[in-house]
Amino acid sequence: MQADYVIIGSGSAGATMAYRLSEAGKRVVVIEQGGSDAGPFIQMPAALSYPMNMGIYDWGFQSEPEPHLGGRRLATPRGKVIGGSSSINGMVYVRGHAKDFDTWEEMGAQGWSYADVLPYFQRMETWHGGGDANGADASYRGTSGPLHISRGPRHNPLFDAFIAAGKEAGYPTTADYNGAQQEGFGAMEATIYKGRRWSAANAYLRPALKTGRVELVRAFAKRVVIENGRAVGVEIRRGGQDEVIRASAEVIVAASSINSPKILMLSGIGDAAHLSEHGIPVVAHRPGVGQNLQDHLEIYMQFAAAQPVTLYKYWNLWGKAIIGAQWLFTKTGLGASNQFEACAFIRTREGIEYPDIEYHFLPIAVRYDGKAAAGGHGFQVHVGPMRSKSRGAVSLRSANPMDAPKILFNYMSHPDDWDEFRRCIRLTREVFDQPAMKPFVKSEIQPGLALQSDAELDAFLKEHVESAYHPCGTCRMGRADDPMAVVDPECRVIGVEGLRVADSSIFPQVTNGNLNGPSIMTGEKAADHILGRRLPKSNLQPVMAENWQTRQR
């Protein structure tokens, strides 16, 4: 089998590159270990807690025991299905803050500033802002891209009460956090279209396969084949047999921030000492491979409801059956929403230039894995700091490609993490104490108002922080002369010809919010780098808080 480009991974970035390269007339093979995304568990937005916990769709990774969380192992789901993690995620769409990308450029990712990436976000989107986006400047958004972005109907009164409470607490509201102004309370956006999950598989991969220039190969990618310093193909295992799929132009690794560094290391690219430990011949000594691992942690602050307005009334077999049937036949109703319909991005204190907390509001008190935590009516907000200073690593467990890598996030290893999380709890309590929420809040379930001191909150955090599932940074992009950079700003692996990495692993720093949007943008922009073209820079500027140096709100 021969192709111009071989892409490992059919996820957010991989599917996007396959689409853009095929559009330009290139022949592409996409290697994907996972299977079909057909069926209601993936396609129905409200069923989002299922695919993330199903071995058929998830690689099933876990962190090593986390030393600062009492040795807890945290789940690290990554999609093993066409569309990758975009087929099992919460469908929340956040581009990230403009300053995130300016920071990337300052860190050595030349040409990835906000002015550079905004045109790619616009190219990939079809934005269905809807009537409630009044006051939003549509010039920041895209109107004809493959990725459909919509807003939930916000029929539940709790969504608007949450936004109103934020305003009463003195925070701004924003008509479009993905547009001019991220900071503030407002409607949340999702990759949902016509009541279905609009994953990278639906948006990019299926249209790419229809061109006849893209072939999807169901196989396990073992390593990149490198001859005389050049990537020439990918060794795969299919049906118990090993074979090589050759690329006449380039090999592109888009296998996630967990699997991409693993594949590079198995191919001889990584820290020479670590590779030698496992008997892997060194092709390129890149000590940054697997380092710089980052993520977002969050807690679920849960409240008992004073009125029966939450989704708890559907939290039974009959309720779920009714929602499921309505969705199956009409693609409407509660099944057509991920239920994350209101959100906020705020700053924890003065002197911080742009938001460092994200809120997802959910009108039921429940865990991500679908286990109800609150008996009876309740609601919750997911909250956590956006820019933790803690860094972890992905490393090899062995030289056997079938073994899962070692993942150590080193969560909460920086003292600032604890301070930021305590601020999250205290600021959130203040929001839920506002007049707009008063009619709905009966009591605080979790952490519970009995916990007030720093020590009490820290003990709660140690037990209850959860990953928001935003791992990134393990093949960091930077200047070619930066010893810890893995790829240059063209996404080329430094020290190897014909090999690129393009997915969330190349992010120098985690972005503000959920990572699916920036990962797809990375695929869009990387495809242009591969094709030797570039969209012109945007001259649109973000709206920033005026007195951020002296005021928190």
Where is 248: in which H helix or E strand?
Answer: strand 241-253
Q: Among the options 97, 377, 470, 529, which is catalytic?
A: 470
- Decide if 470 is catalytic: yes
Exposure pattern of 85-108 as b/e (b: 16+ CB <10 Å)? bbbbbbbbbbbbbbbbbbbbbebb
Q: At 446, is the secondary structure helix, strand, or coil?
A: strand
Q: Which two tokens stand for residue 329?
A: 């036949």
Q: 81 a known binding residue?
A: yes
Q: Which two tokens stand for residue 169?
A: 């607490």
Cβ-contact 534, 552 below 8 angstroms: no
Only one residue has tokens 């007030």, namely 452
Q: What is the end-to-end Cα distance of the chain in Å, rounded?
A: 59
- Backbone dihedral angles phi then psi of residue 303, each to the nearest 5 degrees: -130, 140
Query: Beta partners for 430?
Result: none
Strands 342-346 and 357-362: antiparallel
Q: At 485, is the secondary structure helix, strand, or coil?
A: coil
Cβ-contact 337, 45 below 8 angstroms: yes
Rounded CA separation 406/138 (Å) = 44
Cβ-contact 271, 413 below 8 angstroms: no
Rounded CA separation 462/350 (Å) = 26
Q: 54 a known binding residue?
A: no
Q: 394 a known binding residue?
A: no
Cβ-contact 4, 18 below 8 angstroms: no
Only one residue has tokens 């789901």, namely 77
Q: Is the peptide bond before 308 cis (omega within 30 degrees of 0)?
A: no
Dihedral class, residue 513 (left if φ above 0, else alpha if ψ from -120 to 50, else beta) = left
Of the candidates 263, 274, 245, 258, the residue with the CA atom closest to the CA atom of residue 409: 258
Q: Which two tokens stand for residue 226?
A: 């490198």
Q: Which two tokens stand for residue 254?
A: 């888009």
Cβ-contact 399, 278 below 8 angstroms: yes
Task: Just list the catalytic residues.
Answer: 470
Binding site for FAD: which residues? 81, 89-92
Tell me the binding residues.
81, 89-92
